[in-house]
Amino acid sequence: MLDQIRQLEGKFHFETYYSLSCHNCPDVIQALNLMAVLNPNITHTAIDGAIVQSEVQQRNIMAVPAVFLNGKEFGQGRMTLSDIVTKLDVNAEKNTVQKLNQQLPYEVLIVGSGPAGASAAIYAARNGIRTGIIGARFGGQVLDTIDIENYISVSKTEGPKLATALRGHVNDYDIDIIDSQMVAKLIPADAADKLHKSATVSGATLRSRIIIIATGAKWRDMNVPGEKEYRTTGVTYCPHCDGPLFKGQLVAVIGGGNSGVEAAIDLAGVVEHVTLLEFAPEMRADAVLQQKLASLSSVDIILQAETLEVKGYGVKMTGLQYKNRQDGSIHD
Ligand SMILES: Cc1cc2nc3c(=O)[nH]c(=O)nc-3n(C[C@H](O)[C@H](O)[C@H](O)COP(=O)(O)OP(=O)(O)OC[C@H]3O[C@@H](n4cnc5c(N)ncnc54)[C@H](O)[C@@H]3O)c2cc1C
């Protein structure tokens, strides 16, 4: 990949807007810095969005990291070095597919590279089994969280730190890690070669005697009008990343499970006021989190609230409409 970066032709000036509490930003910034070091045609400016609020508003940035290339939007959110290079190098995907197609069959191929996949890979490799692990982003959901306090024997760690440690542990063994690839289809073995096939979205096919599926979970959309339209211009899924951009504003958090309540607690320290909406008659978050939330004066909780619509004027969102499920009344 380093050679691939050195050989990129053209002029690329990147600008990345970040926030200091964004755990997705360092990887993106470091990837672009590395590219700038390797190739004189590439330059990179990293900008702390919190200290240039007027610029952030002018460029309509409401989610970080927000990356611009030669003045135009390039991408938003977590990106790996390989994602960025693939986007710039038109031949990258073709080369990757070719390389994957040439892989010898695996005894075990694990689909999904979160903690479950990493664990399965280590167990398999420790038994001397030829193992591969393929996933969209190594670390899985762990990358989306900051504080982890329930990992026995480790009082407190952070998501990205744990994901890096997981990768290091997997790398201790002879395991092929295949990054930034989604499996689109599994094809059962036929009598001829007795090998299952895993076909990727990019067009490659990997062969293996056994497939372990460890695809985990991902956030659930609200599926209401306005959600997609205002994604990154008011609707966000990463409170740590984007919270500082909503400093002094009114914010709603949808969902009273652990993730929602943790988000509301963290945001309460940054924004002016948080309203948490929960669909059910009670929240599902752990008691310890609910107690912490209840102790905060700048948070309101509305139970039995069904979100109906994210409202806005085309450029940015301005509000939220919900139904009180008890009496059917509609509120903005
Ligand atoms: C905000 C947040 C906070 C959390 N905090 C905690 C906590 O404090 N303590 C705790 O114990 N747990 C916490 N969790 C839950 C914990 O992260 C998950 O339980 C754990 O990550 C599940 O691991 P997994 O490997 O099963 O799945 P995941 O972590 O979901 O990983 C699955 C992987 O598979 C990949 N994948 C999916 N489909 C495909 C496909 N078709 N092809 C290739 N790859 C695919 C995904 O991209 C992902 O990388 C938190 C979760 C979130 C979102």
Question: What is the residue-wise DSSP string for 129-154?
Answer: --EEEE-SSTTGGGGG-SEE--BTTB
What is the residue with the minimal CA distance to atom 6 of ligand 1? 148
What is the residue with the minimal CA distance to atom 22 of ligand 1? 216
Query: Which of 24, 113, 137, 141 gets mutated to test ligand 1 (max ligand atoms within 8 A of its CB)?
Result: 141
Global confidence as pTM = 0.79
Q: Is the pLDDT of residue 176 over 90?
A: yes
Q: Is the pLDDT of residue 174 over 80?
A: yes
Q: For residue 141, give the ligand 1 atom closest to its CA.
A: 29
What is the residue with the minimal CA distance to atom 34 of ligand 1? 112
The tokens describing 265, both together, are 């607690």
C-alpha 285 – ligand 1 centre gap (Å): 18
Q: For residue 259, give the ligand 1 atom closest to its CA.
A: 1
C-alpha 216 – ligand 1 centre gap (Å): 5
Alpha-carbon distance values, 277 to 260, 302, 311 (Å): 9, 5, 16
C-alpha 142 – ligand 1 centre gap (Å): 6
Q: Is the pLDDT of residue 21 over 90?
A: no
* Mean predicted confidence (pLDDT) in 300-319: 94
For 310: left if phi > 0, alpha if psi spans -120 to 50, otherwise beta; the answer is beta
Q: Is the pLDDT of residue 218 over 90?
A: no
Alpha-carbon distance values, 201 to 20, 175, 195, 249, 293 (Å): 34, 22, 19, 40, 41
pLDDT of residue 183: 98
> Strand order in 273-277's β-sheet?
250-254, 273-277, 299-302
pLDDT of residue 36: 97
Per-residue pLDDT of 280-301, as tens digits, reads 999 999 999 999 999 999 999 9
Alpha-carbon distance values, 50 to 45, 61, 131, 234 (Å): 15, 11, 44, 16
Per-residue pLDDT of 77-132, as tens digits, reads 888 898 899 888 877 788 889 999 999 999 999 999 999 999 999 999 999 999 99
Separation between Cα atoms, residue 20 and residue 18, nearest integer Å: 7
Distance of CA 204 to the CA centre of its chain: 23
Separation between Cα atoms, residue 94 and residue 283, nearest integer Å: 48
Q: What is the mean pLDDT of the chain?
A: 93
pLDDT of residue 239: 86
| CA nearest neighbour of 55 among 46, 47, 43, 63 | 47
C-alpha 311 – ligand 1 centre gap (Å): 30
C-alpha 115 – ligand 1 centre gap (Å): 7
The tokens describing 19, both together, are 């926030």
C-alpha 219 – ligand 1 centre gap (Å): 10
Q: Between β-strands 273-277 and 299-302, what pairing exists: parallel, antiparallel or unpaired? A: parallel
Separation between Cα atoms, residue 236 and residue 173, nearest integer Å: 37
Q: Are 63 and 243 in contact (CB under 8 A)?
A: no
| Residue ranges around ligand 1 (CB below 6 Å) | 111-117, 134-137, 140-142, 144-145, 148, 150, 182-183, 214-217, 259
pLDDT of residue 125: 97
Q: For residue 148, give the ligand 1 atom closest to its CA.
A: 8
* Mean predicted confidence (pLDDT) in 227-241: 87
* Mean predicted confidence (pLDDT) in 233-243: 86
C-alpha 144 – ligand 1 centre gap (Å): 8
Task: Show the domains of the chain with their CATH numbers.
Answer: 2-89 (3.40.30.10), 94-213 (3.50.50.60), 239-331 (3.50.50.60)
Establish whether the linkage from the previous residue to 65 is cis, with ω within 30° of 0: yes
